[in-house]
Structure 1
Amino acid sequence: MADLGRLVMRSGAPQLRLRLIAAVVLVLIGKLAAVISPVMLGEAINTLSAPGGAVVIGGGFVALALAFAGLRLLSACAPFARDAVFTAVSQSTMARAAVEGFGHAVSLSLDFHQSKQTGTLARVIERGARSTDFLIRSVVFNLGPTAVELLLAMGVMVVRLDWRFAATALLTVVIYAIVTFKITDWRLSHRRELNEADARAAGLSVDALINFETVKTFGAETRAVGAYGQALDTYVGAAVKANTSLSLLNGAQAVILNLGLAVMTVLAGMEVAAGTMQIGDVTMAILLLIGIYAPLNMLGFNYREIRQAFIDMEQLVALTNRSPDIIDAADAQALPPAAPQGARLEFRDVAFRHDARSQGLLDVSFVAEPGTTVALVGPSGAGKTTAVRLALRLIDPQAGAVLLDGVDLRQVRQSALRRAVALVPQDVALFNDTLRANIAFARPEASAADIQAAAEAAELGAFIEGLPEGLDTMVGERGLKLSGGERQRVGIARALLADPRLLILDEATSALDGRTEEAIQATLRKVRTGRTTLVVAHRLSTIVDADLIVVLRRGRVVEHGTHDSLLASAGEYAALWRRQTRQR
């Protein structure tokens, strides 16, 4: 609750403190009116009794009846007014929780995101944000005010009736709460089974529909339907158990509440018979107890949902409390001004080992001089991708240093580094937006002419001209409406638009056909002017003109030099070259 309170205070809602005070005042007014209104009705009924048994309707009855109606109206309208006043706070709190959770999630390290399911992470943020609204409404505006109403009602009973009435009301509520909590705790396992069965059935159906082509080509329709049917049978069994236990809970609650009401009614009748109470007091006692019962009807639901909401909020708090692995140093600085030739990238005795691997990089050193092209080659698992991530500062070296223009990347502000470096990955992921928006993602303020020029440079001009909507064509989720080669060209256009001093190409032409690859390679050779290029390549034919080729094996630099010098040395690179040229 302390985390929730702090979140509310930084929600940024308009007139926050005024709205908080007004909401609390409206809650108290509503509960006070709900407790006083039965007293007014009881007094009104008492005024009807006259000597001799006659019923007389006088001004006092009318005034008290109107007071009763007015207080009932006030108690009914107070929650609506409270919601109108407080909605801005609850919604701002929910939005703030979502923004903080999302913002912190995107700041976390690459390793964290690689170990998390994207859908699960999104659900943690969504459920955690929504839980704030539910907790505020259930705990602050339901359970809390109900306890206040119970205390006020008991006070009225002690003063106006007898302590036994207050004791009956308290005992009824306590027994009701204990039984509700016990049965609800027991029902949680049933509810969990129901949710798991529902998730399994939904997962099977979605999986089969997404992979419809595979199901169809292997003639597995009957098998898929059978598995879905079995999952639904399990769901039906779980649903029966969950609904039966819910009926048991509702039945037990009804028995307890009506027994308490019966005891209260009998007590009131006995007091009237003894002459210590009037008829109107019986009505007062019954209405007071019914007023307490009304919010209790949802106690089981609220208790279960509050428990779940606290779990959801704890997961979000745990996420936001997780510290990013990559953060700006306290004295982080901007990079020095870019040189006309491009950046100078240096790996100086760099070592890094992943937790899930037996080996990583060890004592890797090389220098990419300004304006040059350096290629990293080697077999799978040699450490090429790790070197790229180090150059982007997605991870930090465990030993040694990576320097850009003479500055250790750990001393550079990440925002400055991101503006200086651009990556074209092997698998380019695009946003479900237009081609224009995806290219401009690298530089949102870019002009239409700059975007078009970047597209032309990436050999996308003819493709875009052939589209009915041109650059405004939607590419689909993750760009799946485009071919692999088209996605890579969009990635290249995006990187070129960023105009970086260091361009990193991680198998950037692997999905292209030979003709397009040759065109892109020619384009890349042209755009290397004024920037340094770091290339990761499996096809050695694409890097024969590199100024420096660094050969990695098992995380170590085993050779480095130009294409011709490495062939002449007849080492690891020459062996790779012979294998690839024989395969042609």
Structure 2
Amino acid sequence: MPPDTDDDPFEVQKERVDNPMRRLFDEYGRENTAQFVVGVLASVAARILDLLPPVVLGLAIDAIIRQDKSFAAGFPVIPEAWVAPFVPGTRVGQFYFAVGIIVVSFLGGAAFHWLRNWGWNSFAQHIQHAIRTDTYDQMQRLNMEFFADKQTGEMMSILSNDVNRLERFLNDGMNSFFRLSVMVVAIAAILLSYNWQLALVALFPVPLISLFTWKFIQIIQPKYADVRSSVGTLNSRLENNLGGIQVIKTFNAENHESDRVDDVSGDYFDANWDAIDTRIKFFPALRILAGIGFTLTFLVGGLWVIQGEGPGPFTGTLAVGEFVTFILLTQQFVWPLAQFGQIINMYQRARASSARIFGLMDEPGRLEEQPNAPELDITEGRVEYDDVSFGYDKNENIIEDISFDVAGGETLALVGPTGAGKSTVLKLLMRMYDTDEGAIRIDGQDLREVTLRSLRRQVGYVSQETFLFYGTVKENIAYGTFDASDDDIVAAAKAAEAHEFITNLPDGYDTKVGERGVKLSGGQRQRVSIARAILKDPEILVLDEATSDVDTETEMLIQRSLDELTADRTTFAIAHRLSTIKDADQIVVLEGGHIVEHGTHDDLLGDGGLYAHLWGVQAGEIDQLPDEFIERAARRQAEVDASDD
């Protein structure tokens, strides 16, 4: 049964991947072949040396103490002629020779165990590092449509849990597989070479252990799937709550959220305990089966030695030393067979993880860059939207037939009620998405025909959803312009009216802003974001509610700086505060994804349409608004609320 079938957010991606483990070794294992070979050879050598002491002990009993056989002839598998030249002729000499073999086996075993662990750990760690960085690199290059359908916790699960699960299999699983394989094959060969009849007794539990292990895997896999599903839900809940901790506190919702975490944690506890309960019953049962094999070997072998002949159907003789070797090796033989169940389990979980990882790597991006695409060359900064239509869902457009021209150096403002498509229009300019119909051109160059890097390098973007990275104020201003000098950073901060509050911070520009900039106010974060865009010095500037989180006085100061900044570059601005864009060269009014008005501030006021009504709302002239406008506003709000639900 597949290890992951329920509630896997990457099930679609997983199903696209054939032979994920083969691909893992083909694409990443080949680069680390040396470590793999060292791990395999060292595993073989270490296990063989581990088996020497019980073999030598049995030989010492029969050849040195009891003198029932030749010391040189007692080595299993190895021809006597190969051993005889090295074996001393006296009993004392043979005794010290046996001691020497045991000492060498322990010292050599320790060295090869170290070498084995080095090989497997190096093999696993190099692959873990390479696959995590490759997965992240591919993930951050996916289009925004993909991220809209996935939670951050689910994406983190790929980079953390799945990659770590691969590392555990490549290290612990592969290590154990070769170690146990050598033990099982070598011990079976030794026992069969000593006494094939007693060996069959010792091997009697093997089929039962194999069948029992297979049934255990069939039972435990669905339980592991439930555990993974519940831990994913728990992680998502914790992530959401920690991200919204301020809202939780301001609404006194600590008890409510504690109860919700208790519920999902309880689900995880139940699923995990169910799997644990099954697992802890499995291993004692295996011990019983292993005990049966050991007991039968001791019973039959003991009677054989005591009676001097085989009991019942058994024939031939059994030396005391051989019996001792049988007892010692049987203990080491049966239990490794049970561990193969864990290896198989680790393999299947690693296979599911590798399928998710490669499925993500193979995720087709909606954005395609043409081979040998030229870089965007901006000379004037003229932007043209030519009958542009787009929808996040292919069955429903968010914007339709959007057309306008903006000359280089002009400012165009986008206005409209919530959900009209304003931000979507500008995201298309940044090519966060590609148009479904129509084209967007800058100085006559279709955005789909130039490189993404050159486009985004020359377009500065200030979003209404300000995001600051964990780090210093200086690092956040310089983000994207990493080679900026301190003087340039300070100049950008001054232009964004941020320098004064930054210098009053405990460590000035070196002050840590906290997770997502939590140590700064909303207005301060917004000004740092604006300074970041100013430092970039883009040819085209996009302001998406750039002053939404600042007070009126700060907005006035920022607006004055933005006026200077936008004087010689093409600028797009979205603002609900219409006073901030009334001086724009063009104002485009959107409603329901369509352009309903287009003109200057004075022209639109004179038309008495939607823009004039929105201006009246902000001017406090609500009583003078027509009923039709209020009814349309109510319908629009209902549609927005319905889409949120």
Aligned partner of 1:468 in structure 2 is: 506
Displacement, 1:45?
Answer: 1.4
Distance 1:407 1:520, change over 3 A: same
Aligned partner of 1:60 in structure 2 is: 94
Aligned counterparts of 1:203 and 1:116: Cα–Cα separation in 2: 11
Displacement, 1:556?
Answer: 1.6
Contact 1:47-1:61 within 8 A present in 2 as well: no
The equivalent position to 2:403 in structure 1, one of 358, 361, 365, is 365
Displacement, 1:507?
Answer: 0.8
Aligned partner of 2:352 in structure 1 is: 311
Instruction: Tell me, yes or no, if structure 1 residue 48 matches structure 2 residue 82.
Output: no
Displacement, 1:473?
Answer: 0.8
Displacement, 1:577?
Answer: 2.1
Map 1:211-222; keep pairs closer than 5 Å.
none
C-alpha distance after superposition, 1:223-268 (max 9, x if no partner): 6667777777777766765554344212211111111112222343
Aligned counterparts of 1:565 and 1:34: Cα–Cα separation in 2: 92
Instruction: Tell me, yes or no, if structure 1 residue 254 matches structure 2 residue 287.
Output: yes
Contact 2:543-2:574 within 8 A present in 1 as well: yes
Aligned counterparts of 2:601 and 2:154: Cα–Cα separation in 1: 47
Shifted more, 113-122 versus 29-38: the winner is 29-38
Aligned partner of 2:122 in structure 1 is: 88
Contact 1:442-1:497 within 8 A present in 2 as well: no
Aligned counterparts of 1:277 and 1:485: Cα–Cα separation in 2: 89
Instruction: Tell me, yes or no, if structure 1 residue 397 matches structure 2 residue 397.
Output: no
Aligned partner of 1:4 in structure 2 is: 24
Displacement, 1:453?
Answer: 0.2
C-alpha distance after superposition, 1:47-87 (max 9, x if no partner): 2344799xx95221321233134224434542222112343
Map 1:254-333; keep pairs closer than 5 Å.
254-272=287-305, 273-274=308-309, 276-296=317-337, 298-333=339-374
C-alpha distance after superposition, 1:299-357 (max 9, x if no partner): 45444343333222222121111122223211311112x43xx5111111111112188
Aligned counterparts of 2:586 and 2:61: Cα–Cα separation in 1: 100
Map 1:71-86; keep pairs closer than 5 Å.
71-86=105-120
Displacement, 1:487?
Answer: 1.0
Aligned counterparts of 2:150 and 2:225: Cα–Cα separation in 1: 22
Amino acid at match of 1:577: W
C-alpha distance after superposition, 1:100-131 (max 9, x if no partner): 11111101111111211112201111122212
Displacement, 1:93?
Answer: 0.7
Shifted more, 397-406 versus 18-27: the winner is 18-27
**Secondary structure class of the residue paired with 1:98:** helix
Distance 1:482 1:229, change over 3 A: closer
Unmatched tracts of structure 1, length 5 or more: none
**TM-score, normalising length: structure 1:** 0.89
Amino acid at match of 1:22: V
Aligned length: 574
Distance 1:310 1:534, change over 3 A: same
Displacement, 1:168?
Answer: 3.9
**Secondary structure class of the residue paired with 2:460:** strand
Displacement, 1:541?
Answer: 1.2
Aligned counterparts of 2:549 and 2:137: Cα–Cα separation in 1: 33
Aligned partner of 1:99 in structure 2 is: 133
Contact 2:477-2:489 within 8 A present in 1 as well: yes
Aligned counterparts of 2:116 and 2:570: Cα–Cα separation in 1: 62
Instruction: Tell me, yes or no, if structure 1 residue 530 matches structure 2 residue 530.
Output: no
Distance 1:211 1:461, change over 3 A: closer
Contact 1:382-1:555 within 8 A present in 2 as well: yes
Shifted more, 312-321 versus 401-410: the winner is 312-321
Instruction: Tell me, yes or no, if structure 1 residue 118 matches structure 2 residue 144.
Output: no
Aligned counterparts of 1:62 and 1:481: Cα–Cα separation in 2: 73
Contact 2:184-2:336 within 8 A present in 1 as well: no
Aligned counterparts of 1:391 and 1:258: Cα–Cα separation in 2: 72
Aligned counterparts of 1:438 and 1:123: Cα–Cα separation in 2: 27
Distance 1:323 1:39, change over 3 A: same
Aligned counterparts of 2:253 and 2:464: Cα–Cα separation in 1: 34
Amino acid at match of 2:181: A
Distance 1:296 1:387, change over 3 A: same
Distance 1:426 1:309, change over 3 A: same
Shifted more, 198-207 versus 318-327: the winner is 198-207
Displacement, 1:519?
Answer: 1.2
Aligned counterparts of 1:44 and 1:291: Cα–Cα separation in 2: 20
Contact 1:425-1:506 within 8 A present in 2 as well: yes
Distance 1:205 1:452, change over 3 A: closer
Identity of aligned residues (%): 32
Amino acid at match of 1:257: A
Aligned partner of 1:130 in structure 2 is: 164
**TM-score, normalising length: structure 2:** 0.81
Amino acid at match of 1:83: N
Unmatched tracts of structure 2, length 5 or more: 1-20, 70-89, 310-315, 623-645
Contact 1:197-1:231 within 8 A present in 2 as well: yes
Aligned partner of 1:428 in structure 2 is: 466
Instruction: Tell me, yes or no, if structure 1 residue 31 matches structure 2 residue 31.
Output: no
Shifted more, 114-123 versus 446-455: the winner is 114-123
Aligned counterparts of 1:354 and 1:198: Cα–Cα separation in 2: 30
Instruction: Tell me, yes or no, if structure 1 residue 70 matches structure 2 residue 90.
Output: no
**Secondary structure class of the residue paired with 2:403:** strand
Amino acid at match of 2:99: A
**Secondary structure class of the residue paired with 1:558:** strand
Aligned counterparts of 2:67 and 2:383: Cα–Cα separation in 1: 105
Amino acid at match of 2:23: D
Instruction: Tell me, yes or no, if structure 1 residue 443 matches structure 2 residue 484.
Output: no
Shifted more, 376-385 versus 145-154: the winner is 145-154
Distance 1:153 1:238, change over 3 A: same
Shifted more, 232-241 versus 184-193: the winner is 232-241
Displacement, 1:177?
Answer: 3.0
CA RMSD of aligned residues (A): 3.0
Contact 2:153-2:232 within 8 A present in 1 as well: no
Map 1:84-233; keep pairs closer than 5 Å.
84-162=118-196, 164-188=197-221
Aligned partner of 2:5 in structure 1 is: none
**Secondary structure class of the residue paired with 2:119:** helix
Shifted more, 246-255 versus 232-241: the winner is 232-241
Displacement, 1:517?
Answer: 0.9
Aligned counterparts of 1:542 and 1:252: Cα–Cα separation in 2: 76
C-alpha distance after superposition, 1:121-177 (max 9, x if no partner): 011111222122212124422123322332222222222321x34434444233223
Aligned partner of 2:8 in structure 1 is: none
